Structure 1
Amino acid sequence: RLGAEKLALEKALQDAGARARELEEGLQAQAAALRAEVDGLRRQLEEAQGAAAARGETAGALEREVEKLRKEAQEAREEGQRRLEEETKKLTAAWEARLAQT
């Protein structure tokens, strides 16, 4: 009877060992899959950060270009105003000269 119990215990230990190995292999496979997923997410994050940085640089460049265009437009308005004033003075002087002749 003790021999049968001993054999049953040995069989149970072998089965438990086999099950433990199966569980360990499954856990290792899950850990490897999780590491691969984390690596993929890390790459996606790095790509997203790179894209965000590029967009930030693009936005900065656009802001600088807009500011440059605003400045040029302001300068053009000022130049146009100056020319208009000069032309008005010339026309006024010519008109006054003509009136003086009459």
Structure 2
Amino acid sequence: MACVTGLPLRVEPLLHEWQVYESGTDNFEKTRAMFLENKGELLPNSPIQYETAEEMKSRFLECMGKYRDYQTVIVVAHNMLMRQFVPNEKIDFCQVIECELEI
């Protein structure tokens, strides 16, 4: 993105991938299914701990607060974070999606 646009690149640590607090690929897929089934909520009796949709959204908005005065910001992110702001049906692999957010 930076090469194509000529804009400076900034890496924001809070814009990381969705957090699953267990290790292993099998746990990740199982947890992803639980996350989607529970509509992003973490049930009290959940056998696996993960970042909720609300926590993810809050983390993103907190990070983006410093860009409040910018007219346009380009964010490169994973699907689980993007789908907190854009319907999953509109998200495709390596796609550019425009959306407006109140920050």
TM-score normalised by L of structure 1: 0.19
The structure richer in helix per residue is 1
**TM-score, normalised with respect to structure 2:** 0.19
Is the radius of gyration larger for structure 1 or structure 2?
Answer: 1
Taking CA–CA contacts closer than 8 Å with sequence separation of 6 or more, which of the two structures ends up with the larger relative contact order?
Answer: 2
